[in-house]
Structure 1
Amino acid sequence: MGSYPAAYQPGANGALSVDRNLYRRIAEGGRTRTESFVIPPRAGRAWEVPAGSVCRIVTVDGPQVGDLNVWHRHNPRERMWASRTRQLQRAHVSTYDRVWSTLPYLRPLFTITGDTLAGYGPDEHGGRVHDLLGTRCDPYVNRMLTGEDFDFHCHSNLTRAVLPYGLTEFDVHDVLNVFQCTGLNDEDRYFMKACPARRGDFLEFFAEVDLLCALSTCPGGDLSVPLWGPDARDPSDVCRPLGVEVHRVDPDRLEGWVPPRPAEYRNLHGMALPAAGPLTGPASAKID
């Protein structure tokens, strides 16, 4: 059975085209590390990545899945849009793919510049890594499936992580499952399998705008044991930490880079603009 063409194809304006020479230059070095930390097993943390910087997520102690959320640092209503990224890029992302933001902004939040698992997949089951098909594990589904409460699912870890930034559970959104190996089986149902990462593997991305990131070290660990169903068991012994590094990129590596602007659509949605006329009262104040 042959491959069918992708629905979303690059247009004349080049919006889906990536300057690979630019991002290759960024990936090759010329940077200064500004922050480094380790997120313990079954925990979460949020951090900032300034525009023009690189962030690297590392399997510091062996295979481990991480659930990543990303917002515009100064406007959390603009956040990563997993479903549109699946359509514009791929269901499993890798080097030179971009993660796009929600409407009405619709611009790349970050571009992937390095992936040591880029050569993985599809495997014998059709599995690939760095998944946008599924979303975070959460205590609501867990309660529904098991009848028990567990407070350290990825949704809960991300909720705790973003509280210092004034965000809440309502801001946590669909994730990029870093290092997670997934696919669709013959029944068109979502599957997860053991993470193929080894110690020292990494996914690295370039911040196109100022970012707030949050990452959960999944309580399923490397997903090598079943989490639900008749064979489910405690995965605590396959849970590991993840490392995070932020690097400031040398300015000469950024030559030709321009931070992306929000989508140019005028947001009218078929509605007419109000008739022009003199403004009076408070409405006449200048709006920047």
Structure 2
Amino acid sequence: MVTPEAAYRAAPGSALDVDREFYSRLAREDSRQETVQSFVLPVRSGRAWEVPAGHLCRITTPEGPQVGDLNIWNRHDPRERMWAARTRQLHAAHVTTFDRLWSTLPFLRPLATITADSLEWYGTDSDGGRVHDLLGSRCDPYVNRVLTGEDADFHCHSNLTRAVLPYGLTEFDVHDVLNVFQCTGLNGEDRYFMKASPAAPGDHIEFFAETDLLMALSTCPGGDLSVDLWGPNAGDPRDVCRPLGVEVYRPHSRLLAGWEPPRRAQYAGMHGLGFPSGHEG
């Protein structure tokens, strides 16, 4: 069986053609000059934090498997935020080292680049499951009401909503997520499935901030997703919930020589719109 080519194929030298040597140098442990921030996110909670341009942010599983739902914005303009759908098209539905997280229109530039992923070895399992998911979105109390007819506040959407309030953002700013450490795929009916996270204590995924970022993370109330959340076999996932760790590093300045934040998309058109009458020429 011949596999079709990807639809989105870039010319050499585009922003998809990353400098792997540059990001590999940043990923080395000896590249860190200073730990800027470090904290542990408790189970079933959310928190937002800033990552300056040119810094590294690592998310870890200090006590074992736990899914995290991640949102990212431009710190200075939250209208520019991570665009999960375009990232899927430009890279993959499950991302790993050297993939980039792209922003919404009209900005369309990489907000962050993945520099390290300790679960890269997982690949594709026998069910078609892969890790670090852009296929699905965050769990939320609205869909829970649709599925069960009941209200429940323990959801990633709610965690992220509370997390961004100190930064002047609201529920309307919460967007489709990167599900870190989450194992998902499409089944034979082309429907979304979730599996237990394969993460072990100390696993990590790491990002390089291409511009000043605001990041927010939810420790999913579904824990490691080894317990069904909906359907006839649904159970209580509280016993499989664990914390996540966050660390922000400033790399040695010499490693950033020649790097600069990416510019917003250079499209200079008018979307086919003309000038108002009387302003021709």
TM-score, normalised to structure 1, is: 0.94
Give, as a single letter, the amino acid of the residue that structure 2 aligns with 1:23.
Y
Deviation at 1:128, TM superposition (A): 0.3
Q: Report the equivalent of 2:31.
A: 30
1:208 correspondence with 2:201? no
CA contact (8 A) 1:139 1:149 kept: yes
Q: Report the equivalent of 2:267.
A: 265
Equivalents in 2 of 1:167, 1:80: separation in Å? 15
Partner SS state of residue 121, structure 2: coil
Deviation at 1:106, TM superposition (A): 0.1
Deviation at 1:15, TM superposition (A): 2.6
Equivalents in 2 of 1:162, 1:232: separation in Å? 30
Decide which structure has the larger Cα Rg and report it.
Answer: 1
Give, as a single letter, the amino acid of the residue that structure 1 aligns with 2:75.
R
Partner SS state of residue 192, structure 1: strand
CA contact (8 A) 1:104 1:267 kept: no
Q: State which of 145, 148, 172 in structure 1 corresponds to 2:147.
A: 145
Equivalents in 2 of 1:67, 1:134: separation in Å? 10
CA contact (8 A) 1:22 1:256 kept: no
Q: Report the equivalent of 1:21.
A: 21
Give, as a single letter, the amino acid of the residue that structure 2 aligns with 1:234.
D
Alignment of 1:107-256 (within 5 A): 107-256=109-258
Q: State which of 38, 42, 54 in structure 1 corresponds to 2:44.
A: 42
Deviation at 1:249, TM superposition (A): 1.1
Q: State which of 100, 103, 109 in structure 2 corresponds to 1:101.
A: 103
Q: Report the equivalent of 2:5.
A: 5
Equivalents in 2 of 1:35, 1:56: separation in Å? 10
Moved over 4 A (4+): none
Q: How many residues align?
A: 277
Give, as a single letter, the amino acid of the residue that structure 2 aligns with 1:139.
P
Equivalents in 2 of 1:162, 1:237: separation in Å? 27
Partner SS state of residue 119, structure 1: helix
Long gaps (5+) in structure 1: 278-288
Equivalents in 2 of 1:118, 1:76: separation in Å? 30
Partner SS state of residue 87, structure 1: helix
Residue-by-residue CA offset, 1:210-267 (whole Å, 9 max, x unaligned): 0000000000000001110011011000000000000011111112212100000125
CA contact (8 A) 1:161 1:214 kept: yes
CA contact (8 A) 1:22 1:257 kept: no
Deviation at 1:146, TM superposition (A): 1.0
Say if 1:181 and 1:237 are closer, same or farther in 2 by CA, change over 3 A.
same
Give, as a single letter, the amino acid of the residue that structure 2 aligns with 1:164.
P
Give, as a single letter, the amino acid of the residue that structure 2 aligns with 1:30.
S
Q: Report the equivalent of 1:284.
A: none
Equivalents in 1 of 2:197, 2:118: separation in Å? 13
